[in-house]
Structure formats: C-alpha cells, structure tokens
Structure 1
Amino acid sequence: MLHSIFTMIVNAVASILAGVMLLRFWMQVVRVRPPQSVGQFVYQLSDWLVRPLRRVLPGGTYDWASLLGAFIIVLLSIIAILGLQTNFDFKLILLIALERFFEWICYGFMATLIIEAIFSWVNPYAPLAPFVRALNEPLLRPLRRIIPPLGGVDLSPLVLLILLQIAVRVVSGLLFGAV
C-alpha cells in the first residue's frame, strides 16, 4: 500500500514537472507567446532544471534543455519507482522511461486538444483560447487539408486524438517487442 501511494505521488509530481517542460519546449517550437500567468507558471516551475541544462545544451532554434529536462524527470521518476525493487536493470528502466516520455508527449497533445474543444463549446473567446489554439494548430493543419468539415463540424481533432492513441500503442509495442 505504501509503495502504491509513493508511486502515485512520484507520478503526479513528475508528470507536472515534465509536462511543464514539454509545454515550454512546444511553445518555442510553435513560436507562441503564452499569457503572462501561464508564462510565469511555466518558467518558474522549470527554470531550476532548464537553466543549468542550457550550460550543457546551448539554445538554438529549439529549447533542447527543456526537452532533456523533461526526459530526466521521467527517467528519475522511473528510477525512484522501480529502484525500490531488487533487480535494477538499467536497460529496462531506459526503455520504460522512453515509453513514458513518448506517452506524456502524446497525452500533452491530447490534453490541449480536449481543452480547445471545451473552449469551443463553452467560451471560444476565453483569454487562454487563442493560446491553446496556437499550440494545436501545427498538428491539426495537415489533417484539416485532408479532412473537410462535415456539416460545419471540424473532425480533425477527433482524428488526431485517435492517431495519437495509435502512436502510443505502436511505440509501446515496438519498444517492448525488442525486449
């Protein structure tokens, strides 16, 4: 019971920290400026790891320090959870961390799609709506070229949700099929 509570706490903290670092990376990729409150939250919660990593990985077009920081958080969470067990296989831990890292990337995209859908239903003019829309647009644009709106309803977010779920399953199968 204590192990499951510990696992829940580690996963919650790690998913928030890694999610914020992944959001920081994606904001730079799509070149979207966050609202001030979101920006302050993201930068204050991630600077403790991103700034030291920037000494190792200098900035460029992309914020690789944020991406590496997210992976380090994922790896450390897996080590903390599985490190309590007796057999410590680093190859297995690395594979689990890679899978979890990819899952969290896909789940982050799924979350922004769901948030955008809720905004479109509840309040399309909400202050965060343009920000969330800008985060999703690079992923939805190619699908919107292929899938026309049906009866004025854009189905591309639903298709992207399904594709992201397929990607998670395929990557998981490939990673653990190699073990």
Structure 2
Amino acid sequence: MLIRLFLMVLDVLAGFLSLALLARFALQWARAPYRNPIAQFLVAVTDWAVRPARRVIPSAWGLDLASLVLAWLAQGLYLGLAHGLGGLGGGPLEAVGLVALLALLETLKLAAWLAQGVIIVAALLSWINPYAPMAPVVNALAQPLLRPFQRLIPPIGGVDLSPLAALLAIQLLLAVLTSLFGALLMPMR
C-alpha cells in the first residue's frame, strides 16, 4: 500500500516534469514567443535541469534536445524505480532496455496529451476569445499540428473541422502507444 502511494506521487512528479520539459521543447520548436507567462513558468520550472544538461546534450537543427532527453530520462527514472519496486523480473540488461523503451513510449504519450490539450485550448480560444493574451502562444503551438489537416479538410460553412480530425488522429496514436506499452509489460509479469 505504501509503495503504491509512493509510486503514485513519483508518477505525478515525473509526469509533471516531463510534461513541462516537452512543453518547453514545443515552444521552441513552434518558435512561439517567449515573452508570456506560460513560457516564463516553464523556464522557471525546468531551468535547473536544462541548463546543466545543455553542456552534455548538444542542440540539433536549432532545437534544444536537452529538454527532450530530460523528459525521457524523467520517465525512465520513474519507470525504472517502479520496475525495481514491482519486481517484474528479467535480467538487468533486459530490464534497462525495457525501461528505456517504456520510457520512450510514455514520453510519446505525454507529447500526444500535450498536443491534444493545445488543440482543444486553441479551438476554445478561437470560439470564445481569439484576442486573449495567451492566444498567440497557443495558436503558435497548435498551427504546426493543425496545418496538415487543414490542407486535407477545407472549412465547411466557415467552420474549421481540422481540430476534430487532429484530435481523432491523436486518440488513435494514444491507443496504439497504450497497446504497445501493455504488450511490452505483459511478458514480464
């Protein structure tokens, strides 16, 4: 019981840190303006880990890969601890490889949840208050995700249905990732 509670708290902390690191990476990837409360919060929450990691993890294609690697490592540390406390078995090398792969899948799931949240908030802001102070940041994050769907689905009666298609695609991706995660854990139990 106590171990389960401890792992639940660690899951929340690792998930929050990973999500913040992924959001920081997404802001840079989308070239969103950094002069906003969301970006300032993300920098304040993650700078303690990202700055030292930049010395070891180089940037590529103008993107700070340290945030991505740290998000994966946070998930890996949590899953490694959960794997160790749960006693799932397997050899040490097999366990490290499995945890690394599970951490990658979990990081991809968090990225999909982040994308889903951004699309929903962007759609709501476009209907409720397109001139809200946070709208430019949210739109900068949502546009690269929606653009492929907007090319395929024209507006119908002035209504953009691309967010619905994007959300459906993300839901399908989440189902596949969850299925893979479960399939990888099944032989170890």
Alignment TM-score > 0.5, same fold: yes
Q: Distance in 2 between the 1:36 and 1:145 partners?
A: 29
- Which residue does the alignment assign to 1:78? 79
Q: Does the residue aligned with 2:85 lie in a helix, a strand or coil?
A: coil
Q: Does 1:97 align with 2:112?
A: no
Q: Does the residue aligned with 1:56 lie in a helix, a strand or coil?
A: coil
Amino acid at match of 1:81: A
Q: Distance in 2 between the 1:132 and 1:34 partners?
A: 12
Q: Distance in 1 between the 2:106 and 2:134 partners?
A: 28
How far off is 1:173 after superposition? 4.2
Amino acid at match of 1:41: F
- Which residue does the alignment assign to 2:112? 106
Contact 1:19 1:70 in 2 (8 A): yes
Give the gaps of 5 or more residues in structure 1: none
Aligned-residue Cα RMSD (Å) equals: 2.0
Q: Percent identity?
A: 39
Q: Distance in 1 between the 2:181 and 2:5 partners?
A: 27
Q: Distance in 1 between the 2:138 and 2:45 partners?
A: 19
Contact 1:18 1:73 in 2 (8 A): yes
Q: How many pairs align?
A: 179
Give the gaps of 5 or more residues in structure 2: none
Could you state the TM-score of these two structures normalised by the residue count of structure 1?
0.89
Contact 1:95 1:176 in 2 (8 A): no
**Residue pairs, 1:1-179, within 5 angstroms:** 1-60=1-60, 61-86=62-87, 87=89, 89-173=95-179
Shifted more, 38-47 versus 164-173: the winner is 164-173
Q: Distance in 2 between the 1:81 and 1:54 partners?
A: 28
Q: Per-residue displacement from partner, 1:3-33 (whole Å, max 9, x unpaired)?
A: 3322321122112111111111111111111
Q: Per-residue displacement from partner, 1:53-89 (whole Å, max 9, x unpaired)?
A: 1111223411101111111111111122222122362
